[in-house]
Amino acid sequence: MVKKYFSLIVVALVMAGLVGNSVAIPAYAQADCDSTYTVQADDWLSRIADRFLGDVLAYPAIVDATNAAANADESFDAIRNADVIEVGQVLCIPASEAAQASLAEIGTDISADEAQPGGTLKVAFQNEWAGLDPHTVSSYSSYQILNNVLEGLTFYDNNLNLVPWLAESWEQSEDGLTWTFHLREGVMFTNGREMTAEDVKWSFERLIDPATGAGNAARVGPPETQIEVIDDYTVAITHPEPFGIFPQSIGFDKSTGIVAKESVNEDGIIVEPIGTGPFQISEVEGTTRMVLTKNENYWQEGLPYLDAIEITPIPDDTVRETALLSGDVDWVLSIAPQNYESLEANPDVVVSTAPQLSYDYMGINLTREPFTDVRVRQAIALALDREEIAAAGYFGLAETIEGPTGPGSPWYFDYAPYGQDIERAKELLAEAGYPDGFEMELLPTVQYGETVRAAQVIQQQLAAIGITASINAPEWSQWLELEGNFNYDAYICNWNGLIDADQYYYLQHKSDQVFNFTGYDNPEFDELVTEARSTSDFDERYQIYQDLNQILVDDAPYIYMYNKLEIRAYSPQVKGFVTRSDQANNFWTVWLDQSAEE
C-alpha cells in the first residue's frame, strides 16, 4: 500500500501568524482541553508533548488545540512560531484520542508499530561525498553522512523545534555576551572515550580558527570568541557582541558537531570523524561506497535500530530508481521529478514529501564586468519567466520565488519586483551601456539535472533581451572548483537545509564570509545582518530581515527562481523515516519491517 507522508512543517503556516490576536486554524482543530499547562523556564514544545502525550511527534496537536482555544478564550495565547513559547503561557493539552485525530489530519500517526532492531539499510545518494571533515566540507552529501555520525549541543527535531541534545540546558548572561551550556554526562564517543567540555572547546576552537578556513565558522562566532571549560560538564562561550540566536545557530547542521580530537591525522586533517552519534564510519571505499555501523554505546537507549547503513552514490536518476524497484537498494535520496506520479502509484514504493526550505537560484559573479552593474543584474532578473523555469527544471513540483524564502517559511516576505518585463529589462541594459546585449556563460552541473534544464530555458529567455548565453555543465567536482574560484559568469544551483532566517542571509552574502561566492559587498547589508544575530526576539528579527530581504533582492547577487518539493522514495519495508523540510536525512529511528518482505 502506498502512503504519502507530509512533514510537520506545514504547521509552520499556523505558527507564523504575525498580526492580530488570533491565528488561522485548521477546520479540524478543536479547543477541547483535557488539561492545561503553564510554560516554565527551559520548556520546549516537543518536551511538553512527550510529557503529556507520550511522544514528541504529538507536538502539532498541542499547537492546534492551543490556537483553537486562543481564538475562543483570552486566557490562551496563540502559538505563532515554533521556537517562541513564553514562560507563563497557558497551553491547551488535548486528550490522546483528540491528539491522534488532529495528527491524522496532517498525515502523521503517534501510534506506531513496534520497531524491529537489526538489519542493514541500503541507501543510494544522488552524488558522491566531498570529504568528511565537518569544519571544511560544504557538500550536501557529506553532511547527510555527518548527520548520523556527529551530534551538536542542540538539535532541531522532526517538527523543526529546537531541543536540547548533547547539552541538557543553557542560559545567557545578563550582558548577552556569554552562553553557558550544561552537558549530558556519560555520553561516549564511538572510540570509547567520554565526551566532556574539553571536546566542545576543541571542536569550536578548530572551527573558528582562521587557519581552518571553515565556511561555517560564523555558526559559532568570530575568531575572537572565547570558549572556557568551567568543569567537565559545563562550558561557557563568550562572544565579542551579543549573539542572541547562538543555541539555534549551533543546531543548524553538523559543522558544529562535537568531534573527538583523535579524529585529526598526522597531516592535521580529519578523514573519518569520531563522534557521539548513533552510527560510526566503519568502511570507506573512496567515494563510491561507505558503511556506517551501529554505535553500541549510544546514549539514547534502544537506538539506533539498524545494525548498519550501506551508502552508494548513484548519480543517474534512472539507474538509482531501477535499483530501488529491483530491491538492490531500500531508500533513495532523490528521484527524477518527471517520475514522481508513476512512483507514487507503485504499491512497492513509498513516496515521501515535504515543502523544501531551500531555494534554486542563479549566482552572479560581481567581480566581473558587466555584472558589477546592478542594472545588468536586475535586467537578467526581469528577463526570467520563473513559472516556465520551474516547469522545465522540476516539472512543476515547485513554487516560484523572487527572494530566498518561500511561503512555507515563517520568514517569508512577499516583496516581488521581478515579474517578467522584457521592455524594462532592455531599458536597464541600455542605461548600463549594453543596448545590444552581451555574451555570457551559464554554469549548471550535470550532477543536478534540474539546473541543466533550467539553464536551457534561461538561455532562451535571455536571448529576448539581447544576451547570448552559452551553457557549460561540468561534473560536480569541477563545478565546485569553478564556483569556489570565481571562474564563472553566472552559476545555477540550490542552497540546502535552511531553517532560521540567519541561514538565508549571513553566510552567503556577508562580505567577509567564505561562502560568499558572488563577491557581494554592501556595508548596509553587513551591518543589518550582524544586528539580526544579536537578538532572539522574533518580531524584532522579522523586521530586520524584512529590510535585509529587500536590499538583497534589489541588489540581485542571487536571482531566485523556485522553491521545490523535497522528495524521498523507499521500500515499504523501511519504517520510521521522516522526510524533513530542512533536508536532513536521519536514520537512527529507521527500522526494517521483516514481515513486509513476505
pLDDT for 414-455, tens place per residue? 999 999 999 999 999 999 999 999 999 999 999 889 999 999
How far apart, in whole angstroms, are the C-alpha atoms of residue 467 and residue 451?
A: 19
Q: Which residues contact 388 (CB under 8 A, 6 or more apart)?
A: 457, 461
Measured CA to CA in angstroms, residue 83 lies from 151, 388, 405, 424, 502 at distances of 20, 36, 18, 42, 14
| Each residue's pLDDT tens digit, 136-153 | 987 888 989 999 999 999
* SS3 annotation, 200-245: HHHHHHHHHCHHHCCCCHHHCCCCCCEEEEEECCEEEEECCCCCCC
How far apart, in whole angstroms, are the C-alpha atoms of residue 163 and residue 160?
A: 9
**Residue type at 75?**
S
CATH hierarchy code of domain 150-263: 3.90.76.10
Say whether pLDDT at 105 is over 70: no
pLDDT score for 476: 87
pLDDT score for 19: 32
Domain boundaries, the chain: 5-105, 115-133+277-349+586-598, 150-263, 359-565
pLDDT tier for residue 32 given thresholds of 50, 70 and 90: confident
Q: Which residues contact 73 (CB under 8 A, 6 or more apart)?
A: 31
pLDDT score for 357: 83
Inter-residue contact 573 to 330 (CB < 8 Å): yes
Give 58 or 403, the one with higher predicted confidence.
403
Cell readout for 591 is: 527500522
CATH hierarchy code of domain 359-565: 3.10.105.10
Say whether pLDDT at 82 is over 60: no
How far apart, in whole angstroms, are the C-alpha atoms of residue 524 and residue 514?
A: 19
Pick the CATH number of 115-133+277-349+586-598 from 3.40.190.10, 3.10.450.50, 3.40.50.2000, 3.10.450.30: 3.40.190.10
The CB-based long-range contact list for 69-72 (8 Å cut-off, 24+ gap) reads 69/31, 69/33, 70/21, 70/22, 70/23, 71/22, 71/23, 71/25, 71/31, 72/31
**pLDDT, averaged across the chain:** 89
Provide the β-strand partners of residue 332: 124, 569
Average pLDDT over residues 569-593: 93
Of 244, 264, 299, 46, the closest CA to residue 159 belongs to 46
Say whether pLDDT at 269 is over 80: yes
pLDDT score for 4: 31
Look-up of cell digits 543548524: 252
Average pLDDT over residues 9-27: 39
Query: How many residues are there in the chain?
Result: 598
pLDDT score for 43: 66
Query: What does pTM read for this prediction?
Result: 0.73
- The pair phi, psi for residue 375, each rounded to 5°, is -65, -35
Q: Is 41 exposed, middle or buried, given 0-12, 13-18 or 19+ CB atoms closer than 10 A? A: exposed
| Each residue's pLDDT tens digit, 324-337 | 999 999 999 999 99
pLDDT tier for residue 104 given thresholds of 50, 70 and 90: low
Percentage of the chain beyond pLDDT 90 is 67
| Each residue's pLDDT tens digit, 459-502 | 999 999 999 999 999 998 899 999 999 999 999 999 876 788 89
Cell readout for 570 is: 523507499
pLDDT score for 183: 98
Say whether pLDDT at 29 is over 80: no
pLDDT score for 423: 98
Helix or strand (DSSP H, E) at 198: helix 197-208
pLDDT score for 11: 34
The torsion angle over the Cα atoms of residues 482, 485, 491 and 492, rounded to 10 degrees, is 80
* SS3 annotation, 239-291: CCCCCCCHHHHCCCCHHHCCCCHHHECCCCCECCCCCCCCEEEEEEECCCEEE
Gyration radius of the chain's alpha carbons: 24
pLDDT tier for residue 228 given thresholds of 50, 70 and 90: very high
Q: Is 326 exposed, middle or buried, given 0-12, 13-18 or 19+ CB atoms closer than 10 A? A: exposed
In this structure, the strands spanning 120-125 and 308-313 are parallel
pLDDT score for 31: 65
Average pLDDT over residues 517-532: 96
User: Any idea which of 126-130, 213-217, 510-514 has the lowest mean pLDDT?
Assistant: 126-130
Inter-residue contact 38 to 93 (CB < 8 Å): no
pLDDT tier for residue 380 given thresholds of 50, 70 and 90: very high
Give 495 or 295, the one with higher predicted confidence.
295
Average pLDDT over residues 393-419: 90
User: Any idea which of 6-20, 86-100, 213-227, 550-564 has the lowest mean pLDDT?
Assistant: 6-20
pLDDT score for 18: 30
Average pLDDT over residues 562-571: 92
Average pLDDT over residues 557-569: 94
Q: Is the dihedral of CA 334, 340, 344, 345 positive or negative?
A: negative
